Amino acid sequence: MRQGDSIGRFSLAQGHPWVAVDVVVFTLSQATLQALLVQVKDGPFAGKWAFPGGLVGAEESLDQAAERELRERTGVQEAHLEQLYTFGKPERDPMSRVVSVSYLALIPVQGITPNAASKYADIRWFRADRLPRLAYDHDQVTRLALQRLRAKLQYTNIVYSLMPSEFTLGELQEVYETILQRPLDRRNFRKRILALGLLKQLKKKRRGTHRPASLYAFIRRRPMIIEMV
């Protein structure tokens, strides 16, 4: 939750729980995993960084509130978005009693222009492994989000949500290695990923200073349970 929501922090009744969402937005840029952070504008955490979020509207579901926050901050209409965990310690927000449901969102970086609007002092991408000390309990949210992403990368196909529409196998492997933080054998990775039947080879190649590389695309861009690596 942030100061500047339609219901301001100072108008929240003390002792009465309010429900909010916080959205951990990850992307891949310059071969690093990046997280989108906003700078808190007012209150005891003014100047500190946090994940974007806000109060759930009276007519909204939790998912709708998370989708709205993601759309307002990034312009993304559709993305992989899943619920992480509910944080409800009474002391997590010094201003009021707020229960926050955290979400994990994965988006490709191409064409994204983060928007702080008037709600936040600033908005920026940060390396996920070099985040500043965060407001509220968002350091704990970070650990959980990274743990969830690394786990799901190994038994689902959610990597598609971080990839552009076409890519090389080398670029795909680099994404796995970046997130899992370990090298993968090139031959075994390619053999495994192609055997899963998730990709289609396109009739064009990526040309550059090295030998032309074949381009691929995901056959289906929707979540599936499957042993990836």
Percent pLDDT > 90 in the chain is 81
Which residue did the predictor score with more confidence, 215 or 206? 215
Q: Are residues 34 and 130 in the same domain?
A: yes
Q: Is residue 192 part of a domain?
A: yes
pLDDT (average), residues 30-48: 95
Looking at the fold, whether 97 and 207 belong to one and the same domain comes out as no
pLDDT score for 181: 94
CATH number of residue 191's parent domain: 1.10.10.10
The domain that holds 124 is classified in CATH as 3.90.79.10
In a domain, 118, yes or no: yes
Q: In this structure, how many other beta carbons lie within 10 angstroms of the beta carbon of residue 170? A: 14
Whether 114 and 193 share a structural domain: no
Is the pLDDT at 13 greater than 70, yes or no?
no
Inside any domain, residue 3: no
- Average pLDDT along the chain: 91
Residue 76 belongs to some domain of the structure: yes
Is the pLDDT assigned to residue 168 strictly greater than 90? yes
Structural domain that includes position 97 = 9-136
The pLDDT, as a whole number, for residue 14 is 53
Domain match, 95 and 62 both = yes
Number of domains in the chain: 2
Residue 12 confidence (pLDDT) above 90: no
For 109-140, how does the pLDDT look when each residue is reduced to its tens digit (9 = 90+)?
A: 888 999 999 999 999 999 999 999 999 999 99
pLDDT for the residue 182: 95
Q: How confident is the model at residue 4 (pLDDT cuts 50, 70, 90)?
A: very low
Residues 124 and 61 occupy one common structural domain: yes
18 and 123 housed in the same domain: yes
Residue 228 has a pLDDT of 67
Asked if residue 228 belongs to a domain, the reply is no
Identify whether 141 is part of a domain: no
Question: Do 131 and 24 fall within a single domain?
Answer: yes
126 and 73 in a common domain? yes
170 and 126 share one domain:
no
34: in domain: yes
Q: Is the pLDDT of residue 6 over 80?
A: no
Give the DSSP letter string of the chain.
Answer: --TTSSS-GGGSPTTS-EEEEEEEEEEEETTEEEEEEEE--SSTTTT-EE--EEEPPTT--HHHHHHHHHHHHH--SS-EEEEEEEE--GGG-TTS-EEEEEEEEE---TT-----TTTSSEEEEEETTSPPPBSTTHHHHHHHHHHHHHHHHTTB-GGGGGS-SSB-HHHHHHHHHHHHTS---HHHHHHHHHHTT-EEEEEEEE-SSSS-EEEEEES--S--B----
Q: Say yes or no: 174 and 211 in one domain.
A: yes
Q: Are residues 72 and 126 in the same domain?
A: yes
